[in-house]
Amino acid sequence: MRAPRRRNGPRLKGEFLHLIDLLARRTVPAAGVSIGLTRRCPLSCAHCATNSTSTSEEIAAEVLVDFVASFGTDDPPEFLAMSGGEPMLRPALVRELAERASAVGCRSTVLSGMFFARGAGRIPPPIRRAIDAVDHFSVSLDVFHEREVPRANVLRVLDAVLAGGTDVSIHAVGLDADDPYLEELTAEVRRAFDDRVPIFVNTVNAFGRARDWYVPPELSELQAIGASPCQLAAWPLVAWDGTVTTCGNEDVVDGPAPPHLRLGHARDGWPAVQARCRASSMARAIRLYGPMYVADRLAADGDAVVGGCDGYCATCRTLSDSPALLGEVEELMARSSTLTVEAFAADLQLRDGALGFARRYGTERYAELALLGAPA
């Protein structure tokens, strides 16, 4: 297969977009915005976190067009990340949003399940035009997708996209870090593309369809709760009904989202959403300390704090149940000492870069694969 086009000379904004560019800025509040273009998908993957179907909900295109049009030129997001469901069911919308974002210096990416490659692995013209409009094209590739879309067809499409000059990446999922499927898949991809296509590796979570069959590993009960920042609360997410949240967890996106995780609606426009994302005391506290620490240190005496991985997100969803806790958070985040700690933590997260993010939110064993093909 052909290798991706290499960069020569200084890198120009919008010319290339490697996966590390996205991951390195994923911890910066409002550096990017994610949009779920649709909840619909023609595939029925057993692990689908959104439990998408061919008749699921999707937001009116004009709402999303108006939202991206509100980016303006003064302080637009650096990145626009489009997903679904299957965003390539709306290729004209992908193209229009990418072009509007590009006009104000915002680079775009789209994540596809590759339903269109089920046959011969060719790219239909409308989808090809959408891919050519974005700066980065990501595909989901795992044992569940492979039951519906042949791996060879996915790799053939990626080869064609690379030949057209668009950076690509693969998002792979396994049952756990020791899943032999992941070892075999990543080895083949590395051979096929000569280590030039980055791979972000993760494991199945008990959301959507997987909730019916996946049993997460047991975790020992936490003896002491320390700060555990949620860096995923940094980029606003526009859900399928237009609600904007600071969390992409499906239990939040499916709604109704807890008040402290809501940033408004797409109709409010980017400047308002951006300002709320950066200013929200609770969002800042979750990013700095994590929900477990916030609840443990600031909750009223006798309030329970649940431990474990599931408890982390479950605790977060309940933080706005207590008006007293919200007041404590407001006071804490207004302190000058907190502002100093916040700035220091943000600097540490930036220094961790893409690899640090991949280790924390991907599978550590395969984290360095996210750097494949990165510019020297």
Return the domain boundaries, the chain: 19-217+349-371, 243-334
**In this structure, which CATH number among 3.10.150.10, 3.20.20.70, 3.90.1150.10, 3.40.30.10 belongs to the domain 19-217+349-371?**
3.20.20.70
**Which of 6-15, 24-33, 144-153, 224-233 is the most confident on average?**
24-33
Amino acid letter, residue 18 = H
Output the pLDDT for position 295.
85
Helix (H) or strand (E) holding 171: strand 167-174
Q: Which of 50-64, 167-181, 203-217, 354-368 has the lowest mean pLDDT?
A: 203-217
Average pLDDT, the chain: 87
> Which stretches of the chain are DSSP H helices?
19-24, 61-69, 91-103, 125-133, 143-146, 151-163, 180-193, 250-253, 270-279, 281-288, 291-298, 308-317, 323-334, 336-361
66-95 b/e (C-beta count within 10 Å ≥ 16 → b): ebbbbbeeeebbbbbbbbbbbbbbbbebbb
* Residue whose entry in the numeric block shows the structure tokens 């086009």: 5
Output the pLDDT for position 15.
66
pLDDT band at 243 (very low <50, low <70, confident <90, very high): very high
pLDDT band at 84 (very low <50, low <70, confident <90, very high): confident
Q: How do beta strands 237-238 and 32-36 pair?
A: parallel
Output the pLDDT for position 36.
93
pLDDT band at 145 (very low <50, low <70, confident <90, very high): confident
* Residue whose entry in the numeric block shows the structure tokens 């008040």: 259
C-beta separation of 358 from 170 below 8 A = no
Classified as helix, coil or strand, 46 is coil
The residue-averaged pLDDT of 65-89 equals 94
Q: Does the reported pTM lie above 0.85?
A: yes
